[in-house]
Amino acid sequence: MDYLFAVLLSSLSSASILLIATIGLAVVFGLMGVINLAHGEFIMFGAYAALTATQQGVPFILSIPIAVLLTMIFGALVEILIIRRLYGRMFDTMLATWGLSLALYQCAVIIFGTVSPGIGMPQMSIAIGEYSLAVYPLLMIVVAASMLIGVYYLLTKSVYGMKARAAIQVPHMARAIGINSSNTNTLTFAIGCGLAGFAGAVLLPIVPATPSMGFAFVIKSFLIVVVAGPVTLAGSALSAIGMGGGASVISSFMTSVAGDIFFFALTLLLLRFYPLGISSRWRFKL
């Protein structure tokens, strides 16, 4: 029983880590309809920003908001220079963000090299019978829940959230009542990128900063958002826990390859029976 409880807790932690990496993509794709194939590189951007800040003597906890701010600024520039011209052209947006992904990856290789020093995980653990689990990965469960609640209230209870949803759903009506759709879209994309930067920074002790670190997240994150369907946040949370947590449980009892096979097989099965996403028939839509 101790081993089973440790596996379940570890699997929930793994699912939370995947959800943290997914929420930014869920906001951009679910709210704006933009498929950002450079999402993994925004995670990388946040990780390197936090790593650079800590190397300059900034405490790790303070490097996280710095990484978020820098990633948001960079995301706003990307929206203004690239994405703004491609709304409604999904295939062109995919090509543009894929090209941006390649460019950012190569820039990271040139600037930082292929290997970077890590910052180390806090050496705290909890004992479950004969088994020991690191505290920091378990803390990601709380971080993921806090992110979900924060983003939910931002998009549903704030003036900005109402403007953002109006600017995307009925842009002509939003402009008619004085909402600046362009600025709102820029802020929304920047927030999605900032969430990706937050993921890269907060996961830095677990996933060291490398130019290819985003590849480990972007495919599974994208599949989670697709399986989630129109109810972006709740659907993504359920998908991440079911698919990511299930894959982690399989990996614990078998191999990591078996866990990945389970993840992709479950994705195919869910999309076969729910082609519009598991939340397509839910009553609430966020």
Do residues 42 and 97 touch, judged by C-beta distance below 8 A?
A: no
d(CA 219, CA 192): 17
Torsion of CA 50, 54, 58, 60, to 10 degrees: 70
| Triad 236, 90, 20: Cα angle to 5° | 25
Q: Which two structure tokens, joined as six digits, stand for 286?
A: 């966020």
| Triad 30, 34, 37: Cα angle to 5° | 110
pLDDT for res 104: 93
Check: pTM over 0.85? Answer yes or no. Answer: yes
Do residues 169 and 45 touch, judged by C-beta distance below 8 A?
A: no
Q: Is 285 helix (H, G, I), strand (E, B) or coil?
A: coil
pLDDT for res 214: 85
Q: Is 211 helix (H, G, I), strand (E, B) or coil?
A: coil
pLDDT per position in the chain (286 positions), as tens? 777 888 888 889 999 999 999 999 988 887 777 888 999 999 999 999 999 999 998 999 999 999 999 999 999 999 999 998 888 788 888 899 999 999 999 999 999 887 777 787 777 878 877 878 888 888 999 999 999 999 988 888 888 877 777 777 666 777 777 777 788 888 999 999 999 999 999 999 988 888 988 887 888 888 998 898 877 788 888 888 889 888 888 988 888 888 889 999 999 999 988 888 888 777 665 5
Q: Which burial class, exposed, middle or buried, applies to 160 when counting CB atoms under 10 A from its CB (0-12, 13-18, 19+)?
A: middle
Give CA 67 to chain center in angstroms: 14
d(CA 199, CA 185): 21
pLDDT for res 103: 94
pLDDT for res 135: 87
Which residues is 112 bridged to in the sheet?
Answer: none
pLDDT for res 285: 56
Helices (H), 158-206: 159-169, 171-176, 181-202
d(CA 93, CA 276): 21
Q: Is 101 helix (H, G, I), strand (E, B) or coil?
A: helix
Q: Which two structure tokens, joined as six digits, stand for 133?
A: 């689990």
Phi then psi dihedrals of residue 128, to 5 deg: -125, 95
Q: Which two structure tokens, joined as six digits, stand for 127?
A: 């004992």
Do residues 163 and 179 touch, judged by C-beta distance below 8 A?
A: yes
